[in-house]
């Protein structure tokens, strides 16, 4: 009886296989390696679903909790944790849907993301709501998790962290689309729109602090670079 096979090439026992080597008898080695990594939570660079090599989602989670604590509001930790870490998956390659807002995409695919976990099903709708409304240009959902994630995410684009995120993307190579001038334009034009987005008391107060940081930094940078001409 002939056993079923893949049919792509004939079987040759190892003792009968030809010798593959490079000129002058140099040998060729092929090495297959499986690699499984795991990360301690909150330590080192770890893994961030934004795909960035900075802990943006960790900041969103930490600041949502911090702002809520300042306002004496209790957040459901399951909901805010899942929403803070998964809300940007909708913009990742392989998950994104062209033409669909990435928070909507993430919410629509939450079941897939959490499949096989014991995440409480009764809390999934609240996670979805926080995902859908996390961006500054969307009206924050009514739940406290949605409101504080919304503010934490907006704040991440403002102040010193917002400045760092924009400036680290400056590309000085010729023909670059994101020059230092473009970065200044973004900071002057887009940052003020984001800054209107805070909805919680603690979020609004922190926003005021960060607006002052951005303005002071840009004023100083302008002074030192002849109005950004030499930057
Ligand atoms: Fe986002």
Q: What is the pLDDT of residues 166-184, one digit of tens each?
A: 888 888 788 888 888 888 8
Say what the pLDDT of residue 25 is. Answer: 86
Q: What is the mean pLDDT of residues 87-96?
A: 91
Ligand 1 centroid – CA 181 distance (Å):
25
Ligand 1 centroid – CA 223 distance (Å):
33
Q: How far apart are CA 46 and CA 118, in angstroms?
A: 23
Residue 12 per-residue DSSP state: -
Q: What six digits make up the tokens of 132?
A: 């859908």
Ligand 1 centroid – CA 64 distance (Å):
14
Ligand 1 centroid – CA 123 distance (Å):
21
pLDDT digits (tens, 9 = 90+) for 28-71: 788 888 888 777 766 665 555 555 555 788 899 999 999 999 99
Domain boundaries, the chain: 56-224
CB atoms within 10 A of CB 125: 13
CB atoms within 10 A of CB 217: 16
Ligand 1 centroid – CA 102 distance (Å):
7
Q: What six digits make up the tokens of 211?
A: 């607006």
Q: How far apart are CA 77 and CA 10, in angstroms?
A: 57
- CB 194, CB 154: distance < 8 Å: yes
Q: How far apart are CA 67 and CA 192, in angstroms?
A: 21
Ligand 1 centroid – CA 48 distance (Å):
13
The vertex-155 CA angle with 66 and 53, nearest 5°, equals 90
- CB 163, CB 214: distance < 8 Å: yes
Fold entry, domain 56-224:
Hypothetical protein af1432 (1.10.3210)
Ligand 1 centroid – CA 4 distance (Å):
50
Average confidence score pLDDT of the chain: 88
Say what the pLDDT of residue 194 is. Answer: 87
Ligand 1 centroid – CA 87 distance (Å):
6
Ligand 1 centroid – CA 103 distance (Å):
6
Ligand 1 centroid – CA 231 distance (Å):
29
- CB 168, CB 201: distance < 8 Å: no
- CB 126, CB 147: distance < 8 Å: no
Ligand 1 centroid – CA 2 distance (Å):
56
Ligand 1 centroid – CA 219 distance (Å):
28
E strands in the chain: 21-22, 26-27
Q: How far apart are CA 95 and CA 103, in angstroms?
A: 11
* Angle between the N-to-C axes of helices 159-167 and 201-224, in degrees from 0 to 180, rounded to the nearest 10: 50
Q: What six digits make up the tokens of 2?
A: 């002939």
Residue 161, Cα to own-chain centre: how many angstroms? 14
Ligand 1 centroid – CA 96 distance (Å):
12
Q: What is the pTM of this model?
A: 0.76
Ligand 1 centroid – CA 109 distance (Å):
15
Say what the pLDDT of residue 123 is. Answer: 97
Q: How far apart are CA 105 and CA 62, in angstroms?
A: 23
pLDDT above 70 coverage of the chain, percent: 93
Q: Is 22 helix (H, G, I), strand (E, B) or coil?
A: strand
Q: What six digits make up the tokens of 8?
A: 């792509």
């Amino acid at each position: 009886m002939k056993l079923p096979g893949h049919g792509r090439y004939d079987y040759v026992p190892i003792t009968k296989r030809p010798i593959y080597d490079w000129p002058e008898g140099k040998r060729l080695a092929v090495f297959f390696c499986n690699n499984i990594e795991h990360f301690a939570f909150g330590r080192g660079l770890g893994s961030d679903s934004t795909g960035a090599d900075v802990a943006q989602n960790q900041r969103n989670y930490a600041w949502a909790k911090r702002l809520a604590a300042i306002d004496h509001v209790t957040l459901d930790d399951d909901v805010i944790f899942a929403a803070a870490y998964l809300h940007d998956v909708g913009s990742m390659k392989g998950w994104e849907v062209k033409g669909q807002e990435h928070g909507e995409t993430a919410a629509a695919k939450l079941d897939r993301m959490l499949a096989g976990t014991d995440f409480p099903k009764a809390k999934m709708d609240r996670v979805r709501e926080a995902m859908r409304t996390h961006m500054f240009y969307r009206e924050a959902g009514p739940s406290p998790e949605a409101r504080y994630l919304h503010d934490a995410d907006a704040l991440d684009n403002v102040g010193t962290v917002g400045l760092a995120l924009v400036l680290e993307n400056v590309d000085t190579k010729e023909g670059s689309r994101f020059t230092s001038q473009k970065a200044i334009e973004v900071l002057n034009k887009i940052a003020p729109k984001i800054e209107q987005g805070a909805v919680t008391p603690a979020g609004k107060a922190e926003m005021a602090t960060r607006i002052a940081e951005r303005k002071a930094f840009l004023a100083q940078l302008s002074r030192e670079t002849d109005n950004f001409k030499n930057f």
